[in-house]
């Protein structure tokens, strides 16, 4: 186990992260990022000698042009100037959306640069994880794909093995399209079954193409899956894959919206599972990546469970004790859930493990 108290953590923050307006009825509301910043401050994380607040920079135009088409960027700019039009049916446009999208995605890339420069070992951003945005389109509350931008920033710095460990309850369909044939990026996504969950993508059979075959791993879960089956799948799949890949940098989306209190999904995890995942990923970072680890929040649409999740991750990385209140999911994993999860894990193994001689 890693001595977390010796890890240097950069927490990305600026009031400019709040310069958005999806509307009062949208799940992403103004005050979301300040809520998280204030929470980690109240718990005491920002007072720690090994935690530094870092001001995010705008996503560079060069990176933006790498990850998105000229036509799509122009569309966002036009909406930004006029306030008229939407990114997608679930992602309303607003004035200055271009600036806000560059600062919230730029926060992730700023974190990458802070780790790569040696300023910190890990970064944590209260925003980021916009994994639904694609080269020519946004959607799913995502305008610019910061995960893709982070990977290209790392590639520009000579990193050859990036692990995207994505535990958001929604599949990262956008990010998958960028690196589907790229062996320099391993994407592992644990998400709710795409049969009924947005974005209705991320099937087990989607394992990558060409030289990237085997480097795209999707593990879907039936609704009502809880800590027990999730940990089983995690233990069966994650350690062998990470041990085989030995990443040089890990980008981690903890999956706060997989919590049983979250209102946009149907999994029933607790922060016990988030702590287990974060601890394991943290140890992998120190074992293989010289500690290089970036955390972006991704989803999470219940204020309490979102704060508990971020507090749990910050606790793992920083060494400061934090225990959320006792939690009790509405039910335990039943026999049918166990059977489906075990079948899915077996199918993932059958498709992926032989490629890596596991």
200 among known catalytic residues: no
**Nearest Cα to Cα of residue 162 among 181, 182, 145:** 182
* Per annotation, catalytic residue among 68, 132, 191, 259: 132
Distance set, CA 278 to CA 11, 28, 125, 255, 271 (Å)? 16, 24, 15, 10, 10
Going along 168-211, which residue ranges are E strands? 185-192
Q: How many CB atoms lie within 10 A of CB 329?
A: 16
Token duo for residue 90: 């679930």
Residues 280, 329, 254, 283: what is their CA dihedral angle, to the nearest 10 degrees?
A: -10
- Which residues are identified as catalytic? 132
């Amino acid at each position: 186990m890693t001595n977390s108290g010796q890890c240097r953590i950069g927490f990305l923050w600026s009031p400019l992260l709040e310069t958005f307006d999806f509307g009062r009825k949208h799940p992403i509301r103004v005050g979301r990022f300040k809520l998280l910043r204030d929470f980690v401050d109240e718990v005491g994380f920002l007072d720690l000698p090994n935690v530094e607040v870092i001001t995010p920079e705008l996503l560079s135009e060069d990176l933006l042009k790498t990850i998105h088409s000229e036509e799509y960027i122009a569309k966002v700019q036009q909406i930004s100037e006029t306030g008229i039009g939407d990114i997608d049916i679930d992602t309303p446009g607003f004035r200055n959306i271009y600036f806000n999208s560059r600062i919230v995605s730029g926060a992730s890339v700023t974190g990458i640069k802070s780790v790569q420069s040696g300023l910190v070992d890990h970064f944590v951003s209260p925003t980021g994880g916009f994994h639904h945005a694609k080269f020519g389109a946004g959607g799913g509350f995502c305008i610019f794909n910061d995960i893709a931008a982070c990977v290209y920033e790392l590639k520009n710095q000579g990193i050859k093995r990036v692990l995207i460990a994505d535990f958001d309850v929604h599949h990262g369909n956008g990010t998958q399209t960028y690196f589907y044939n790229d062996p320099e990026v391993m994407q592992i996504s644990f998400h709710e079954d795409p049969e009924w969950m947005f974005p209705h993508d991320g099937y087990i059979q989607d394992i990558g193409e060409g030289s990237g075959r085997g480097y795209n791993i999707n593990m879907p879960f039936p609704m009502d899956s809880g800590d027990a089956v999730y940990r089983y799948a995690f233990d069966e799949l994650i350690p062998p894959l990470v041990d085989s890949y030995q990443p040089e940098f890990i980008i981690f989306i903890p999956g706060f919206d997989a919590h049983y209190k979250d209102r946009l999904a149907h999994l029933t995890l607790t922060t016990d599972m988030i702590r287990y995942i974060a601890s394991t990923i943290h140890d992998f970072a120190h074992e293989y990546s010289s500690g290089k680890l970036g955390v972006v929040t991704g989803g999470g649409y219940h204020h309490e469970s979102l704060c508990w999740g971020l507090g749990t991750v910050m606790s793992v990385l920083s060494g400061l004790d934090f225990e959320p209140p006792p939690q009790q999911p509405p039910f335990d994993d039943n026999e049918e859930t166990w059977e489906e999860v075990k079948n899915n894990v077996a199918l993932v193994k059958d498709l992926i493990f032989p490629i890596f001689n596991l």
